[in-house]
Amino acid sequence: MNMSKESLNIPVHVSMIMDGNGRWAKERGKERVYGHFEGVESVRACVEAAVETGVKYLSIYAFSEENWNRPQEEVDALMALMVKAMAAEMPALDRNGVRFMVIGNRERLAPELNEVIDTCMKQTEHNDTLTLIVLLSYSGKWDILQAAKKMAMEIVGNPDNADELLNMDVDGFDRFLATAGIPDPDLIVRTSGECRLSNYLLWQGAYSELLFVDTLWPDFRKDEFRAAVEYYTKRDRRYGKVK
């Protein structure tokens, strides 16, 4: 795909719902975890493609709050994979100017994983070529609920500011969300043919362009990412207005 960053409307923030690892593995007679391992390669490919196309934020739905209900063996394997992948990928991310962030209910994560996350985030915090955001132990409803709790606690702690907080607009509420400081996704892509958000970025995705593709996540590589960006450049975003 021939794409000029200057002439085309490249999305600032692309978000991926990575689906189909298990099915990909099953089609090959493998255990589900095999698909998760191969899915790491797709993350790497999409990071590289995001840098090459000029995307500034790439977020990936790695593990939802609901995923804690999966078989313990699979959860344990996923957590171990994340520790290994973060440690292995960090030198390359840092070398290529990629800032690494993790957002979600980290209280549920193992201390070992949280330690690796903190190290990786600290190591890359000054990079600005691309911000890679991993949504881990995250759900949209959890995010809105924890934001409401933060707002309530601020009112309790600062009753003199109650009127100001209660009269805030939607932009003011953004600062209570787990994604505070990160632009809302311009494009949300879900792989594997499923056509739902699955409790993902419910507030932030209110005006995102949505793209559902049949490709299973382990097969979603650079060409597929570039095709998704090209799809976005052809969209006419009106935000409820008439043009």
Per residue in 12-59, pLDDT (tens digit) is 999 999 999 999 999 999 998 899 999 999 999 999 999 999 999 999
What pLDDT was estimated at residue 6? 43
Given the residues 9, 21, 67, 118, the one annotated as active site: 67
Q: What own/partner pairs with CB < 8 Å and gap ≥ 24 does 71-74 have? A: 74/32, 74/33
pLDDT in tens, 5-20: 444 799 999 999 999 9
Two structure tokens written together for 3: 């794409």
pLDDT at 77 over 60: yes
For residues 79-86, average pLDDT: 92
Task: Clarify whether 161 is annotated catalytic.
Answer: no
Confidence of residue 1 (pLDDT cuts 50, 70, 90): very low
Two structure tokens written together for 23: 């099915």
pLDDT at 180 over 60: yes
What is the torsional sign of CA 217, 215, 206, 198? negative
What pLDDT was estimated at residue 165? 84
Confidence of residue 127 (pLDDT cuts 50, 70, 90): very high
What pLDDT was estimated at residue 237? 67
What pLDDT was estimated at residue 49? 98
User: Which of the two residues, 171 and 229, has the higher pLDDT score?
Assistant: 229
Quick check: 57 and 12 in contact, CB under 8 A? yes
pLDDT at 228 over 50: yes
Residue 61 to residues 1, 28, 148, 237: CA-CA distances in angstroms?
Answer: 26, 24, 22, 24
DSSP result, 77-92: HHHHHHHHHHHHHHHH
For residues 76-94, average pLDDT: 92
CA distance 149 to 202: 17
For residues 200-217, average pLDDT: 98
Task: Clarify whether 19 is annotated catalytic.
Answer: yes
Across the chain, mean pLDDT equals 92
Given the residues 9, 19, 186, 223, the one annotated as active site: 19
What pLDDT was estimated at residue 243? 59
Our measurement of the distance from residue 69's CA atom to the centroid of its chain's CA atoms, rounded to an integer in Å, reads 20
User: Which of the two residues, 242 and 152, has the higher pLDDT score?
Assistant: 152
